[in-house]
Amino acid sequence: MHAEFDLIARIRARAATREDVVLGIGDDAALLQAPAGRQLVVATDTLNLGVHFGDDAGAADIGWKALAVNLSDLAAMGAEPAWCTLSLSLPAQDRASLPGFVDGFLDGFLELAAQHGVALVGGDTTRGPLSVCVTAMGFVEPGWALRRDAAQVDDDIWVTGTLGDAAAALALAGVAPYSDHPVNRIGGDPSSDAARLFERLHRPTPRVAAGRSLRGLARAGIDVSDGLLADLGHICAASGVAAQIDADALPVSVALAAACAGDSRRTLQLSGGDDYELCFTAPARQRATIEHALSRAQTPAVVIGQVQALHAHGAPAVRVRLADGSAWTPSRKGYQHFG
C-alpha cells in the first residue's frame, strides 16, 4: 500500500463538503457548481519550510496559516470563499511521523475552513522538501471586487486591526531580518503580550467578513502581507496615485505597545510583514457608512491617511508624516523574496 494513498485517504475522510461540490476529492479533478451571475475569484499561495516557517513550527499552525493567507487574498478582493485545493510536498524521511504531521496539519487547516464554510475539494500529495501550496476559490458580484487599481485622489486610506504584531513576534524569536530589531523581552506565560504576538504570527485572522462588507463602499483594496508601505505602494502603482499616511494614526495593539515604542515600533508597523490586515481606500463621504459596516463585521478599522496626486518624479509614492509634520524615512522596505 502506498503511503501517499494512505495520506490522501486520511485527508478525504476529514474534509467537509458543500452542496455546490458535485464531485470532490477522489476523481481526476473536482466538479464545482459556481453560482449564476457571479465571478469566480482564485488565489494561490505557497508556504515553504525555511522561508515561511521554521523547523519548530507546529503542524496545526502551518495548516491554519496555509489556508489563512489564501483566504486573506480572497478577503482583499471582497470575495466570499467557497472551495480550496491543497498541494502537499512531504519529506520521505520520518515516514512514521508523516500521518501524525498530516493529522496535525488538518487540525489547523480544517478548523479555519469550517469557520468560513470552505470545502477542500482536491489537491496533490508528493514527496519532496516540506512545502504547502493552497488554492482558494470564491465568488464576487461582477464589478464589486476590491481591485488594486481603483484608488482615487482624496480617498481615505483605511487599515483594519493592528499592524506590526507578527513582525514583533519574529523579532522576539530572533528570526532574520527582524533579529536585529530592538524589542523588549516581554513575559512568557500563555496570557502574556508575547503570546499574543506569536498568536498573530502563527494564526492570522483573514478579514473575510470585513472584505465582504466593503463591497460597493471601498474603491481599492489589498491585504497587508509584505508590510504596509510595500502593499499600499502596490495600490499606488496600480492606481497611478500617491499616498500620505500619519504615523500616529497607525493602529497598535496593547501587546506591541508593550514590546516596543517610537521609531522601533513604527518600523514594524510600516515595514513588517505577515499582518494579513486589509488596507483599502474609500471616498471620505463613506466614512460613517464604512464604520457601521465594519462594526457589523466585528472588525476594527481606522483611517490612516489620504490618497494624493502623484508626487514629483523620484519621490516615494507613500509618504509617512510624523506628528510635527516632518517626513519619516523607512530603514527597510517590505519583505521581498528575491530582494
Residues engaged in binding Mg ion (CB under 5 A): 124
Q: CB of residue 31 vs ligand ADP: minimum separation in angstroms?
A: 11
Query: Which does residue 28 bind out of Mg ion, ligand ADP, none, counting CB within 5 to 8 angstroms by kind?
Result: ligand ADP
Coil/strand/helix, residue 168? helix
Q: Among candidates 247, 304, 254, 243, which has minimal Cα distance to 278?
A: 304
Query: Which does residue 75 bind out of Mg ion, ligand ADP, none, counting CB within 5 to 8 angstroms by kind?
Result: none
Torsion of CA 303, 79, 268, 332, to 10 degrees: -100
Q: CB of residue 81 vs ligand ADP: minimum separation in angstroms?
A: 16
Q: CB of residue 62 vs ligand ADP: minimum separation in angstroms?
A: 13
Would you say 12 or 292 has its CB closer to ligand ADP? 12
Q: At what angle do helices 165-173 and 262-271 cross, to 10 degrees?
A: 110
Helices (H) and strands (E) in the chain, counts: 10, 13
Q: CB of residue 188 vs ligand ADP: minimum separation in angstroms?
A: 35
Would you say 94 or 124 has its CB closer to Mg ion? 124
Query: Which does residue 26 bind out of Mg ion, ligand ADP, none, counting CB within 5 to 8 angstroms by kind?
Result: ligand ADP
Cα(223)–Cα(64) distance, integer angstroms: 17
Write out the residues near ligand ADP by the rule CB under 6 A: 8, 11, 25-28, 86, 88, 120, 122-125
Q: Which strands form 318-321's sheet, in the order they lie side by side?
A: 221-224, 277-282, 156-160, 301-308, 242-246, 318-321, 327-328
Query: Which does residue 123 bind out of ligand ADP, Mg ion, none, counting CB within 5 to 8 angstroms by kind?
Result: ligand ADP
Would you say 31 or 237 has its CB closer to ligand ADP? 31
Query: Which does residue 60 bind out of Mg ion, ligand ADP, none, counting CB within 5 to 8 angstroms by kind?
Result: none
Q: CB of residue 98 vs ligand ADP: minimum separation in angstroms?
A: 12
Cα(294)–Cα(303) distance, integer angstroms: 13
Q: Which residue is nearest to Mg ion (CB)?
A: 124
Would you say 25 or 79 has its CB closer to Mg ion? 25
**What distances in angstroms separate CA 57 from CA 49, 63, 75, 95, 267, one per listed residue?**
9, 10, 25, 18, 25
Q: CB of residue 96 vs ligand ADP: minimum separation in angstroms?
A: 19
